[in-house]
Structure 1
Amino acid sequence: MTTYNLVATSAMGLEGIVADELKALGYTTQTENGKVYFEGNERDIARTNLWLRVADRVKIVVGSFRARTFEQLFEGVKALPWSDILPVDAEFPVSGKSVKSTLFSVPDCQAITKKAIVEQMKKSYMRLGFLEETGPKFKIEISILNDIATLTIDTSGTGLHKRGYRMDQGEAPLKETLAAALVYITKWKPNRPFVDPFCGSGTIALEAAMIGQNIAPGYNREFISEDWPFMKPEMWEEVRDEADKLADYDQLLDIVGTDIDHKMVEIAQKNADEAGFGNVIEFKQMQVLDFATYAENGVMIGNPPYGERIGEVEEIEDMIMGLGDMMKKYPSWSVYMLSSMENFENLYGRRTTKKRKLFNGFIRTDFYQFWGKRPKR
């Protein structure tokens, strides 16, 4: 097998969690903004695509070099070993981005990159005419940051947040990768009760269930690299079989998702049924302030509405104040809320134990963490 330089990309602020995931899988990592680098072979490409819950994509890093002129870009791209990865009939669309760099015209950079790859491929494969591009797809990206050009090939295809279970969603769904990150941050264990009082389409509860039963998030989906000649079908089958053996389908879970909107509860139930958790997670229509429990040491995670329309903010503020008052009755419970409201702590009536800045899409939010009292031993 070949050893590749690989990178797992992530949303800003989640790199540390992705690095922890990779370390848990046995890899040595190096972290930058939105990127975690590691090395691996073909099996590692399949394994990380299958198991990473918080990463956006896994990419092969073909090479990096300084490029301040189009000639430097062309020669730098041409010097990279494209024919070691791309078969002669590969379809290879090129996307691009440029930040704080001399070469700022992305369309020109894409065109020059494409031309340089074609030149290298034609020379390696001794072709005189056009390359047909009728074979498997390899999505290439040229990214230029501070005049350093980096060429990558996407091994995931559709983003890793697409688990394959979401049949439907609401107006502002939480990405599965962010939902998994929220669960990781709480350090929740499957022996503890778990509640999402703003469940929407059920994403946080579903990600918790997959973590609780150690189910690989990519088990029921396909990846673009499955079509590549050097990514053998039997290898993918072995990696999936390994994931199936590691899953603990018999692990009992106490996970509840509630929402005030009965339509969202129906959607969440459909998604749970599709994911195989129809009888594992309990979804029900309920207002958050109607929450009541006899359970101890539970975890509540929520993504309450942000209040974008007139009149909504006041309603949400009242709800947060009510939530803070209500949870005083459950001192052993830990409460974690993702919100864009900067006065959340004042409304809740308690200082956070910790607070973490996160981005929900392009919305800057904080993950407010109110830890419960530790249970007596």
Structure 2
Amino acid sequence: MQPSSFAQRIAPSATMAAGAKARELKSAGIEVFDFSLGEPDFTTPAHICDAATKAMADGQTHYTPASGTAEVKKAIADYHRQWHQLDYKPENICVSSGAKHTIYSALCATLEPGDEVLIPAPFWVSYAELVKMTGAVPVIIETTAAARFKASVDQLRAACTPKSKMLMLNSPSNPTGMAYAPAELESIAELANEKDLIVLSDEIYERLLYGDAEFKAFASLGPDVLERTLTVNGVSKTYAMTGWRIGWTAGPAAVIKAMGTIQSQQTSNPCSISQCAAIAALSGDQAPVEAMKKEFAKRRDFVCKRLGEIEGLGIVEPDGAFYAFIDVSAHFGKTFGGSTVKDSSSFCLAALEQAHVNLVQGDAFGAEGFARLSFATSMEIIAKGLDALEAWLKTGS
């Protein structure tokens, strides 16, 4: 029995693979400084866990509608109304088993084989593969550190063809942490209207912004923009609920209904207990979110300062999320412990095997020459890990 050609065309998740390699070394008793996974290291707040326990005690352990219960949809609609002044109704919301699942459902509900999807690079590792899984074609738009890894309207316009159907936008971004300013989003919205593009706006990191960075929900840029926007969000990053697997898409009712139909055949429904927990997260005490954000901000400042002290590494200070995207290309061609670094993959492999520092290679994000460091871990691990990275880099020749 052989895997299908479809299965063989899909690349595995680089972040998941990096995490697995780190666990393998840890199981052998090796101390690993793991900066690979984009997962808050905080415990899910107690009131959210309490809501899940109550839901189980109350017998809410059965099937729900495929696109989520009326109660969780109301909580999501209230959330968007409170934070972004968007008047979504329950029929505008599809709840899924995590943001990754909801993106795939949204793509399946809107794309035809051969449609082109514009994706600015660097991009989250799953975007291009999820597009390919629908038969559509990812069109990668390269950006630069000098431009803070943002695609310009001129770049986007130049990439458009008669087959262009969608733009995937992620702000704040994984892996760079950059965020588009409201004025930049307005210009992109004008282009989307001009070219009749669907915009899938992944806003999963919206509550994790630092300093003067300002968030603007793409769908809030006007009634015409609202009608062409699929807003993706979830509870994983904001509320430290990665394992609970609740994400959602908000958008036009016809597409949302189609997503629900697709999910009825894929997964039946998101976890019933997790939906109850998500209600508590969205409508309950938000103080834990602010506490986590404050800690992430301290880590960001430390990481940027420390990386700036290490020779041969370049860094653009992130606006949000919990990632530093590091230019490591100055070390290409050097030899470390008998291994020659040729690209970002060999750099990250050598760093893991020799320094036990686990980063994710930039080519997985469509940006060769870089490596992603997640600072969603303790200050102690960050400090020790960056010390180990600096010491190892000094051994290169």
- TM-score w.r.t. the length of structure 2 is 0.28
- TM-score w.r.t. the length of structure 1 is 0.29
**As a proportion of its length, which structure holds more strand?**
1
Question: Which one scores higher on RCO, CA 8 angstroms, separation ≥ 6?
Answer: 2
**As a proportion of its length, which structure holds more helix?**
2
